[in-house]
Amino acid sequence: MSIEKALNERSGSVCELCGNTEGLTVYALPPVTENNSDKCVLLCSTCNSQVEEPETMDADHWRCLNDSMWSTVPAVQVLAWRLLNQLKQFDLVDMLYLDEETLAWAKSGLAEDEAKHVDSNGVRLAGGDSVVLIKDLVVKGAGFTAKRGTPVRNISLVKDNVEHIEGKVNGQQIVILTQYVKKTN
């Protein structure tokens, strides 16, 4: 039996994430070590394009994960876990129980195992970037307030915490939460 036929049978010929019936294709969850239906999911064209190109993700479309994350199919659980993490829906991730083997599989396929620092708009930050503060921040221990709109050039990333960056404001090296900055060109 072909993989596509097995997935159609398993899912009832609907997308295993959103339930759509149009443009169904087989999606093999990375890392692909063996090609069988247990390591694949049947996705509609909308889900497939957003999974393949994460920068095009529409958070409204992914509300369907509230239901599909409860699937009994490990491949669907793994993909739901990965997508919820990408969407930063950590409350739902915490509710999703995966056995040890399935959780290890979910974590192993993440393309970016390295820390990913993002600004308040979800734009990826890199060492040496320039940002601007989007909120007045009281700098503890330094006795001043970093005002909204203050540019911070040549930032450095805190390796063990993706929510922190470091930069100089008023000649002081400070730690800044990424949720309070916006990347500039």
Cβ partners under 8 Å of residue 5, min gap 6: none
**Is the pLDDT confidence value at 92 over 80?**
yes
Give the pLDDT score at 113: 46
**Is the pLDDT confidence value at 56 over 60?**
yes
DSSP state of 118: B
Q: What is the bridge-based pairing of β-strands 172-177 and 164-169? A: antiparallel
Using a CB cutoff of 8 Å and minimum separation of 24, what contacts does 139-142 make? 139/169, 139/172, 139/174, 142/170, 142/172, 142/174
**Is the pLDDT confidence value at 148 over 60?**
yes
Question: Residue 16: how many CB atoms within 10 A of its CB?
Answer: 24
Give the pLDDT score at 116: 83
Cis peptide leading into residue 151 (ω within 30°)? no
- How much is the average pLDDT of 82-111? 87
Looking at domain 130-184, its CATH superfamily turns out to be SH3 Domains (2.30.30.40)
**Tens-place pLDDT, residues 9-47:** 999 999 999 999 999 999 999 887 777 889 999 999 999
Q: Where are the domains of the chain?
A: 3-108, 130-184
| Confidence label for 111 from pLDDT (cuts 50, 70 and 90) | low
